[in-house]
Amino acid sequence: MHIIESGNAAAAIGVKLSRAQVIAAYPITPQTPLTERLSELVESGEMDAQYIPVESEHSALAVCIAASTTGARAFTATSANGLLYMHEQIHWAAGARLPLVMCVVNRGVGAPWTIWNDHQDSISQRDTGWMQLYVNDHQQIIDGVIKAFMLAEEVMIPIMVCYDGYLLSHTYMPFEVPSQDMVDAFLPPYRPAYALDPDRPANLNTVTLPDVRQDTAGRTAHGYMEIRYLLQEDLLKAADAMDAVENRFREHFGRGGDPFFETYRCEDARFIAVSLGSLSYHLREVIDRLRDEGVKAGIMSIHLYRPFPAAAIAGGLSRAEGVIVFEKALSYGYEGALCSDIKAALYPAGGSKRKMPFVHNYILGLGGREIKTVQLYEAMRNSCTRGTKIETTPQWVGLKI
Amino acid sequence: MSVGTRQYGRKTSHSEPGPGDGGRTGSWRVARPVMDPAVCIPARRGAPACFICWLYCPDGVISRTVPPKIDYEYCKGCGICAEECPTKAITMVDESCFIQTGGGEK
């Protein structure tokens, strides 16, 4: 069934269709309508779940951690400073290997206060051990939520589904809503290997000493370092799992098919723009205009940011002359985090001759600063005509200083 | 390390009830609780009584027996038993005393 609804509604419907059993969330702009919708669905009986009101985002994630530990499928959502308030529990959920799904409705981070969109909130949580999926439109929001539950539960690693505040969360677009039967046939119930059980009591995520230890059965149990190594190992393998989930999704629902990234006019492109989220679709207009002018340009939109599918991304970029990374976030004191990741991905692809594309980095749209198509065009045009000059600091677009 | 943990099964830190899941914690001890049976109530009476030390021990290493016995393999030497004992039958003795005299495990 096709409906016209907001991006937040798309996320809520995806959560309902995924049969989440426990939802705990604290309202924060621009995520609020998502959690409001879920609370309405639970209150009206349309959704068989526990909605647990909490006094903070830290508690919201703590509730989800506890619920997931008992074997329930749990969901939360937040934005900006709410996400940062969860930070300690975000690390915990990954180390505890709980397959939570969290929507991050991307918003800039204070100080100073801003309620508008950029990507600083979720990018700042890049190194927590969660997977991160960035989606570009309403269809990808609802589909991304359903896929996220499957992926998280297969690899036992939590995942953030990130979408742009306002640009997607509050705009209305048509999208396909699959039937409950279709989703049930795709996504099996959550059945963890161990769930908290009074008949099999256990103390979970107990203190580890620097070395491995003997457990009560005399077996050598992991120390901290082994547990963290396994998280890294499984995260790296999760890219293949995402590929498999995407293929299954496409076979089942007849859409999707881009597990790692989505390309537009990249086949013969000499210059490839790279970005996250809805900005990628905005950039398509610029690509079309450059193509009309005879500049072979394309755009790669990264969906899976963690684990970072470096080899696949390098494969898609390494034959280009230039890679131009547009980011709504910044690793303060250096450059855009995505730009650094792209450069690192290209390094092995350069081979012994160290031949690789130049990489330019543009920072834009922070705190919701309007991004004009003409600005994107001028930035791309500039990078495509400046030649292979190596730049070490990002350029800011739309700055009025 | 001769045997790695690859085959362990779990991917988290997961403790089940039983002695020693946190290692042989007796090695953490810097002071050892030593019980004087001439002062300890159940030891003196030869009958079950008091057991305040058994009740208070946070690690469950004191037995509810006559006389009460302390498992030095896991006793961390926190001293709560000595603090709570109503007859002051338990004294905390510096572990270095046992090393010098060659008595007990280290």
Given CB atoms, is A226 within the 8 Å cutoff of chain B? yes
When pLDDT is averaged across residues A213-235 and rounded to a whole number, the result is: 94
Check whether A351 has a pLDDT greater than 80. Answer: no
Q: Are strands A101-106 and A131-134 parallel, antiparallel or unpaired?
A: unpaired
Can you tell me the mean pLDDT for A63-77?
A: 98
Q: What's at B76, amino acid-wise? A: K
CA distance B89 to chain A (A): 32
What digits encode the pLDDT tens for the residues A15-57? 999 999 999 999 999 999 999 999 999 999 999 999 999 999 9
In this predicted structure, what is the pLDDT of residue B100? 63
Query: In angstroms, what separates the C-alpha of B2 from chain A's closest C-alpha?
Result: 10
The burial of B47, by beta-carbon neighbours within 10 Å (0-12 exposed, 13-18 middle, 19 or more buried), is given as exposed
- The pLDDT, as a whole number, for residue A73 is 98
> What is the number of alpha carbons within 13 Å of residue A260 lying toward its C-beta?
18
User: By the CB < 8 Å criterion, does B4 face chain A?
Assistant: yes
State pLDDT tens for residues B64-83: 999 999 999 999 999 999 99
B60: contact with A, CB 8 A cutoff: no
Mean pLDDT of A89-108: 98
Give the per-residue pLDDT at A290. 98
pLDDT > 80? residue A350: no
Question: Is residue A219 less than 8 Å (CB to CB) from chain B?
Answer: yes
pLDDT at B106: 46
Task: Give the CB-side neighbour count of residue A149, counting CA atoms within 13 A.
Answer: 28
The tens digit of pLDDT for each residue in A317-331 reads 989 999 999 999 999
Section A104-129 average pLDDT: 98
CB contact under 8 A, B22 and A201: no
State the nearest Cα–Cα gap between B14 and chain A, in angstroms: 5
Task: Record the tokens describing residue A319, joined without a space.
Answer: 């034959």
Q: Say if the Cβ atoms of B12 and A95 lie within 8 Å.
A: yes
- Chain B residues with CB-CB distance to A238 below 8 A: none
Q: Which of B6, B8, B10, B12 should one mutate to test binding to chain A, selecting the residue with the greatest count of A CBs within 10 A?
A: B12
- Residues linked to residue A102 through DSSP beta bridges, in sequence order: A76, A160
